[in-house]
Structures are given as structure tokens and as C-alpha cells.
Structure 1
Amino acid sequence: MEKEKLLQTLSKQGITEETIQAIAKVPRELFIGNNTPETAYKNIALPIDYDQTISQPYTVAYMIDLLELSPGKKVLELGGGTGYSAAVMWEKMKRQGELYSLELIPGLQKTGKQNLAKAGYKEIHLICKDGKKGYPEHAPYDRVVIAAAVSTLAKEITEQLKEEGILVFPQQTSQNACIMTKIKKKKQGFETSTHGYFAFVPFV
């Protein structure tokens, strides 16, 4: 019932049907740490261990819409957390392609990996690694998403995009606000657009 209510809310907020279907397939209750199960489908951010948060479903869905995901893409996520957004992306990709997710905090990466395995997403690579300069090992990528506030974007990250590749990240504009930013790599350079204000924990 709560899940259905959330899906209806996301639809009213303008999230695409494909992303809503992906969210419907992911058991969010497996990704929320010590929060009570009844909070799983509330449209709010939730605190998790190590002073981190799991973003509200709307924020996850909005970023995934901006990524323009489709099956067969190679995707890099920086800031994997509990694994939830990676699971939604993988469903949006129809479980086809490659998905690498980096998480710096060892305990959180371990938890995220366990969550993904429990939910049946064993093909997602959740790796314990510092992602401030991306992940050159498997570059170039069709899509890159950063799930935390970035004040200065490392040029190495945009260099790891394929031509026509898309990067989505929250650009820190002040202590409490970020502007959602989308960069598309074109033959002649980069095309940048902005998409509203959000709150995120800092990218570490």
C-alpha cells in the first residue's frame, strides 16, 4: 500500500513511467539500514550509518531520469552507499550492460554489497574505492552519476565519458544547497544544463 502511494506520488512529481517501473521492482526496505520498515516507502531521505543518508526516492528517480538510461549501457556511480540507487538503475537498464558503483567507506560498501546480493542483484559491481577521480579501470562510460555534493569536479571524471555520454551530479552552491547538473559530452565540447536545487551530504 505504502509502495503504491509512493509510486503515485512520483508520477505526480513528473517522474517517467520507465523509472517508476524500475523503482517498483526494487525492495527498498532491504536498503535502509536500521530505519524501521514502515519508513522504506516514504518520500524522504533517511539517515544511515557513518553519517551518510539514503536519498529520498524522488531524488534518486529524478537523477535516473536525467541519465537517460537504457539497456546495454556502461554506467559508473560514485557514492554507492547502501546500493539502492544502483539497484534502481540496473532495473531501468533491464539488467543489461555494466554497472560499477564505488563506495569509499569500507563498512558501507560491505553493507551495500550484502543488500544487493539479498535483493538478487549480483551482477552489480559495488567496489570499495575512492572515486574522486572516477574509475579509469573500466572507462570510458556511457553514463556517470555522482550521488553526493561536489564543489569541484575532477576533469578526470568528464574525461572518462564516451562521446554523447552523460554525467549527472549535484554541484555544491552553498553550505546547504546543490544544483542538479547534467553534462553531455559532444564532439565539440561539453553541453551543461541545470535542473533545480537539492540537499546532499558532501562527496568524500
Structure 2
Amino acid sequence: MNYLDARRRMVATLRRRGMSERVLAAMEKVPRHLFMPERVRDSAYDDVPLPIGEGQTISAPHMVAIMCELLDPPEGGRVLEVGGGMGYHAAVLAELVGEGGKVITIERIEPLARAARENLAQAGYHNVEVVVGDGTLGYPKEAPYDGISIACAAPAVPPPLYEQLKVGGRMVIPIGSASQTLYLVRRVSEGEFEHESWGGVVFVPLVGRYGFKKV
């Protein structure tokens, strides 16, 4: 299969959906198929979510594009991702922040985190750190963050993530159980946050101290 052509077709489809050129340029650079189990690799550029093992999925390309566009991380910025999977979304974020920026991605499932490290190294991304742990607690060691991206549905925004977001920063998070809504959260001051709804979505549940399932 010609993955480069497939990736270009994927980007062309997303362009017709009105995605920003900045996000499209990042997604065109990332070899999505390298972040997939071999059994689904030939479907890597289809605009659908795909299973990656351990009961988890990789989001459809259009959802990755939407979340990255809402987050809009600055060049040279620091981003926290919760629910790293096999590393694809982190790679797109790494393209957006550039070599002067950094992405911390938290994955609670050790085999997926291990695969993410290998995939990111193979694809040449050295500004991403993969952490195994409870993503609802964030990663205070590298806080505050310009952006926080959560790829699992939460019952509410975990308090530690509010705390770790920089003033002026953005968070993108799906909230809900049977019915989920994607929210853009902006921290406008030390104690004030704005929440904006961006429509219905479907994600796996967030697991952790402040998630639907506790660990």
C-alpha cells in the first residue's frame, strides 16, 4: 500500500471539511500508519476510529484535527496529553509545537505506553515524553501547560488539570458518559475559566482518581 498517497488523500478530505492549514500541515507530516497495530495498518488513513488493543481506540483523523485546532498550541509551547494510546496524537501535537516545544503524553496502560515510545522514536519525534500513570492527576512536574488535550471522556474536568493549565492556556476535553460533549476550556485568570461546547463525541471512558473508573 502507498501510505504517502493515502495520507495525502486523508489531508485532502480534511481540507474539504474546513480544517486549518496549520493542523493539516502537521497531519501531513506524521506517518499515521506507524502508530497502528499491523493488523489495521492498511486502514490507517481512513477517517474512522480504529482498535489499537487493550480495549482502546485511536481517534478518527477528523477528531484529531478538530481537537488540535481547538487547542491551537503555540510554537515552542508545552502541551500535556491524557490518553496517549500508541502516540499518534502526541506526534501531531509535537509537529504543532515544533522542536522548541514539548509534549508530555500520559498513558495508563503500560504496553500501549511502551509501543508509543517505540513508535515516536521510529518516526523521529524526540520532543515527546511518554509517562505511565493516572492522567486525571496530570503531570505537575512540567506544569503549567499552554495546552491540555484529553482523549477520554470524563465525568467533569479533573481538578488537577485545571490547576496545571497556564493562564491564557486551553484545554480540550470530552465530558459525559452515555452522551458526551467536547468542551474547549480557557483559563482567563488565576481563578476564572471559560467553557465552550463543541458538540457531541464518542470516546472511551477516562480511568483514574477523577475518572468514571477508579484505579
With structure 1 as the length reference, what TM-score do the two structures score? 0.95
Structure 1 counterpart of 2:196? 193
**Does the 8 A contact of 1:35 with 1:46 survive in 2?**
no
After superposition, the C-alpha distances for 1:107-158 in whole angstroms (9 at most, x for unaligned) are 1100111010110112210111111121111111111111111112221110
AA paired with 1:154? P
AA paired with 2:188? K
Identity of aligned residues (%): 38
Shift of 1:190: 0.7
Report the 3-state secondary structure (helix = DSSP H, G, I; strand = E; otherwise coil) of the residue aligned with 2:135.
Answer: coil
**Does the 8 A contact of 2:107 with 2:132 survive in 1?**
yes
Shift of 1:69: 1.5
Confirm whether residue 20 of structure 1 aligns to residue 42 of structure 2. Answer: no
- Structure 2 CA distance for aligned equivalents of residues 55 and 29 of structure 1: 13
Confirm whether residue 202 of structure 1 aligns to residue 205 of structure 2. Answer: yes
AA paired with 1:4? R
**Does the 8 A contact of 1:90 with 1:96 survive in 2?**
no
Pairs within 5 Å for 1:8-157:
8-157=12-161
AA paired with 1:191? E
- Structure 1 stretches lacking a partner, 5+ long: none
With structure 2 as the length reference, what TM-score do the two structures score? 0.90
- Structure 2 stretches lacking a partner, 5+ long: 208-215
- Structure 2 CA distance for aligned equivalents of residues 152 and 168 of structure 1: 12
Shift of 1:32: 1.1
- Structure 1 CA distance for aligned equivalents of residues 134 and 180 of structure 2: 21
Structure 1 counterpart of 2:180? 178
- Structure 2 CA distance for aligned equivalents of residues 71 and 8 of structure 1: 24
Report the 3-state secondary structure (helix = DSSP H, G, I; strand = E; otherwise coil) of the residue aligned with 1:30.
Answer: helix
AA paired with 1:178? Q
Shift of 1:87: 0.2
AA paired with 1:202? P
- Structure 2 CA distance for aligned equivalents of residues 160 and 19 of structure 1: 24
- Structure 1 CA distance for aligned equivalents of residues 161 and 40 of structure 2: 36
**Does the 8 A contact of 2:76 with 2:102 survive in 1?**
yes
Flag as ranges the 4+ runs of structure 1 deviating above 6 A. none
Number of residue equivalences: 202
Deviates more, 1:26-35 or 1:52-61: 26-35
Report the 3-state secondary structure (helix = DSSP H, G, I; strand = E; otherwise coil) of the residue aligned with 1:60.
Answer: helix
- Structure 1 CA distance for aligned equivalents of residues 103 and 7 of structure 2: 25
Report the 3-state secondary structure (helix = DSSP H, G, I; strand = E; otherwise coil) of the residue aligned with 2:200.
Answer: strand
